[in-house]
Amino acid sequence: MKNLINKVFVITGAGNGVGRALTLELLQQGARVAALDISETFLKETERVAKPNQKNLKTYVLDITKDEEVFKIPDIIRKDFGQIDGLINNAGIIQPFVKVMQLHNKDIDRVIRVNFYGTLNMCRAFLPSLVSRPEANLVNISSMGGFTPVPGQAVYGASKAAVKLLTEALYAELKGTPVSVTVVFPGAIGTNITKNSGVDMNMSKADAEKMAKFQKTLSPEKAAKMIINLGIKQNRYRLLVGNDASMLDKISRLFPKFATNMIAKAMKNLLK
Ligand SMILES: NC(=O)c1ccc[n+]([C@@H]2O[C@H](COP(=O)([O-])OP(=O)(O)OC[C@H]3O[C@@H](n4cnc5c(N)ncnc54)[C@H](O)[C@@H]3O)[C@@H](O)[C@H]2O)c1
């Protein structure tokens, strides 16, 4: 979709990080945004920073794991905006930084519910609106953890791998329709995802410094610009966001075991 003026985008997880940056950038480029998040407080802050483009923004408190509410929201948004031209499934959470053996059922359930079922619910709820438009975009945010295993984030990675496959299959299923489908693999982005996911890193200061050195993060604003300018405006099939994601993509295709061992070595100190 080349021209974003007056187009209506629905964004999940728009109360923070990449979702908020996507909201601000789309508004800046003349689009209208239905911003969804589980947290009203986070959405209020998005509204505050969106001034003076606030007239093109409406916020909705929604937990994407609640099927019934998810299936009601497209009608509400269509009533408010008159049309829906794009959906960005961005909301996501990480898991506690522990090995699979130490994970609790409730943590596994929560990560899979938000990252996979939340994304799937939203796709199913909004696709009927999107296919009825002259042109539309569906963007699902996976992660570089969805193609390279990270010890301590195994279930998170599995949920993001599921988002990857779901999105690629949707691309194939929607060929010949007006809907362009993009799967996005961000590398490390400088957001509060750890705190927002309720995860305690339980890390020494030295380990935190080591990790920060290893993870050169991209700003959410730069990530949002790439997702909009390349993912949406150029209708990309897949988009790697950040040098870390691009590099790991290459290494893990050419030398999958080497890539797995490389990340395992870098993460060793985090997992006791
Ligand atoms: N930050 C990174 O380094 C990174 C790397 C790779 C992929 N990603 C992915 O990018 C996306 C955005 O991450 P972020 O770093 O901006 O996170 P963030 O924590 O800053 O923002 C996520 C937002 O999603 C909302 N949310 C959580 N559960 C929800 C639910 N059930 N219903 C509705 N909203 C919900 C949160 O309230 C929060 O506002 C996520 O899918 C994440 O997995 C992030």
pLDDT (tens digit, 9 = 90+) per residue, 164-183? 999 999 999 999 999 999 99
141 C-beta closer than 6 A to ligand 1: yes
Q: Which atom of ligand 1 is nearest to the CA of 160?
A: 43
Question: Looking at residues 127-148, what average pLDDT do you find?
Answer: 98
Query: 13 pLDDT band (50/70/90 cuts)?
Result: very high
Q: Does position 211 have pLDDT exceeding 80, yes or no?
A: no
Question: Looking at residues 16-26, what average pLDDT do you find?
Answer: 98
65 C-beta closer than 6 A to ligand 1: yes
120 to 23, 110, 127, 140: CA distances (angstroms) = 21, 14, 11, 10
Q: What angle do CA 167, 168, 173 make, to 5 degrees?
A: 90
Q: Does position 209 have pLDDT exceeding 70, yes or no?
A: no
**CA 176 to ligand 1 center in whole angstroms:** 31
Distance CA 228, CA 30 (A): 12
Secondary structure of residue 34 in the 3-state scheme: strand
pTM of the model: 0.97
Q: Yes or no: is domain 8-270 CATH 3.40.50.720?
A: yes
* Probe residue for ligand 1, chosen from 193, 195, 199 as the CB with the greatest number of ligand atoms within 8 Å: 193
Distance CA 3, CA 172 (A): 24
Q: Does position 210 have pLDDT exceeding 70, yes or no?
A: no
Catalytic residues: 156
Question: Which amino acid residue places its CA nearest to atom 42 of ligand 1?
Answer: 92
- What is the sign, positive or negative, of the torsion defined by CA atoms of 254, 258, 262, 264? positive
- What is the sign, positive or negative, of the torsion defined by CA atoms of 221, 222, 224, 225? positive
17 C-beta closer than 6 A to ligand 1: yes
Question: Looking at residues 150-160, what average pLDDT do you find?
Answer: 97
Terminal C-alpha separation, the chain: 47
| Rounded (10°) CA dihedral 164, 169, 170, 171 | 90
Q: Would you state the pLDDT for residue 207?
A: 65
Q: Does position 215 have pLDDT exceeding 80, yes or no?
A: no
Which residues have CB under 8 Å from 194's CB, separation 6+?
94, 201
**CA 90 to ligand 1 center in whole angstroms:** 6
Quote the longest CA-to-CA distance of the chain.
54
**CA 216 to ligand 1 center in whole angstroms:** 18
90 C-beta closer than 6 A to ligand 1: yes
Q: Which atom of ligand 1 is nearest to the CA of 113?
A: 31
Q: Does position 50 have pLDDT exceeding 90, yes or no?
A: yes
| Rounded (10°) CA dihedral 174, 125, 58, 194 | -90
Distance CA 207, CA 185 (A): 25
Domain ranges in the chain are: 8-270
Question: Which amino acid residue places its CA nearest to atom 17 of ligand 1?
Answer: 193
Question: Which amino acid residue places its CA nearest to atom 23 of ligand 1?
Answer: 13
Query: 203 pLDDT band (50/70/90 cuts)?
Result: low
